[in-house]
Amino acid sequence: MELNTINKEVAKRTEKVTLRHFITESGTELSAIRIFYHSWGKLNSRADNVIWICHGLTADSNAAAWWPGLIGPGKTFDTNKYFIICPNTPGSCYGSSTPKELKSAADLPDKINLKITARDIANMFDLMTVQLGIKQIHILTGPSIGGFLALEWAIANTLPVKKLALVATSYYASPWNIAINETQRMAINRQNKKAGLATARAIAILSYRSAEAYNSTQQGKNETNEFYAATYQQYQGEKLVKRFSPDAYEFMIDLFNSHDVSRKNTDAHAALSKVNIPVLVIGFTHDNLFPPREQHQLAEMIPGATLQIIASDFGHDAFLTESRKVSAIIKNKLNI
C-alpha cells in the first residue's frame, strides 16, 4: 500500500511543533525536537474531541492514506465530530527531526549513541498536546509500533484518555521481534547502506506477511522465467529505498526494541493494570510479528479490555489490508 496515495475525500492540514529542552528517560537533554503532523477536523471549545493516531515503523503522518476508510465525514473517525491528529515520529523520514538532527540536539560525542525509547516518544507527544491546547484525548490508537507508543502513553496517564484501541501490537518487543530486527540491522551494516536497507525490508516483509498470503498471491513465474515471489521481495526492498533512509530505519528499529512495559522493576501485569479505561485489542489470525497469543495476553492483563481477533491470511499487514474491518470493530466496540 503506497503511503503517497492522495485521499481526495478528506481535507487535511500539515503543521509542525517544536519542543524545547526535552529530557529523555536516560537523562539526556535535547535542545529542540521538531514534530511534523497531519490533522483533520476541528478542535472543539472544550478541546476534548481528539482522536490521536500513532503510526507504524515506516509509515508517515498521513493516516488517511495508509489507513483508508477510517478518516472522513461520516466515517468511524468522523471529521465532522472529531479533531484527528497523527504526528510523524521523531527519527523517522517524514518531516520530524531526523536521527542526525536529534543527535545534534543532544550534543553527544560521536561515539556515544543517542537512546530514544517508546516512552520518550510518548512523552514528546504529551508535551505536544500542551502546545496544541488539547485537554483530553477521546480515542488514542495505533497499529504495530504505533500501538507501542499509544500503550506507553496510556500507562503514563499524563493526559486524560477516554478510550484506547490497540491494533496488531504487543506489551513488549519479544525475543522473536528483536531477532528479526537484528537480522535487518546486520543486512544494513554489512552492505552498501541502501542495498542493505533493501535487504532489511525484504526480511521484514516475511514477518509482515504469512505463508498463506505468499502461497495465494505469488505463485508461478513471470514472462522472464523469474519467480513472482523472488521479484516481489526485490520490489519491496527497492520501493522502501526510494522513500526511507537507512539511518532512520535503524533508529526506528532501536525504538521498536526499547518497548517493554515491564521495565523499571515492575512486571507487565502491574504496569498494564494502571490502564483503567475502555480498551479494545485487535489482532489477526496469521500475524507472525505479534501472534494472536500476545493479543490474548495483552487483553488479559488490562482490566476489562475487549479482544477481537480478525481472520485474515495477510499476517501483520492485515491492519492495512483489513482496514474496513478494523474500522467497523472500533466503531462498534468503542461506541463512536
In tens, the pLDDT along 172-221 reads: 999 999 999 999 999 999 889 999 999 999 999 999 999 999 999 999 99
Residue 5 pLDDT greater than 50, yes or no = no
Instruction: Please say which residue of 222, 253, 284 terminates a domain.
Output: 253
**Is the residue at 8 inside a domain?**
no
Do 143 and 203 lie in one domain? The reply is no
Q: Mean pLDDT in the chain?
A: 94
Q: Do residues 202 and 166 both lie within one domain?
A: no
Looking at residue 8, what is its pLDDT?
47
Does 180 fall in a domain? yes
The reply to whether 30 falls in a domain is yes
Residue ranges making up the domain that contains 220: 176-253
Round to whole Å and give the CA distance between 114 and 137.
30
Is residue 236 included in any domain, yes or no?
yes
- Residues in Cβ contact with 330 at an 8 Å cutoff, skipping those fewer than 6 apart: 70, 76, 139, 141, 165, 280, 282, 336
Q: What is the pTM of this model?
A: 0.94
CATH of the domain at 55: 3.40.50.1820
- Please check whether residue 6 lies inside any domain of the structure: no
Q: Is residue 7 part of a domain?
A: no
Q: pLDDT of 7-24, one tens digit each?
A: 444 667 889 999 999 999
Last residue of a domain, one of 226, 253, 280: 253
CB 71 within 8 A of CB 40: yes
Residues 188 and 149 in one domain: no
- 46 among annotated binding-site residues: no
- Say if residue 313 carries a ligand binding annotation: no
pLDDT band at residue 240 under the 50/70/90 scheme: very high
Please identify, among 253, 276, 292, the residue that sits at the C-terminal boundary of a domain: 253
**Residues labelled catalytic:** 144, 287, 316
Shared-domain flag, residues 132 and 182 = no
The answer to whether residues 144 and 278 belong to one domain is: yes
* The total number of structural domains that make up the chain: 2
Could you tell me if 23 and 154 lie in one domain?
yes
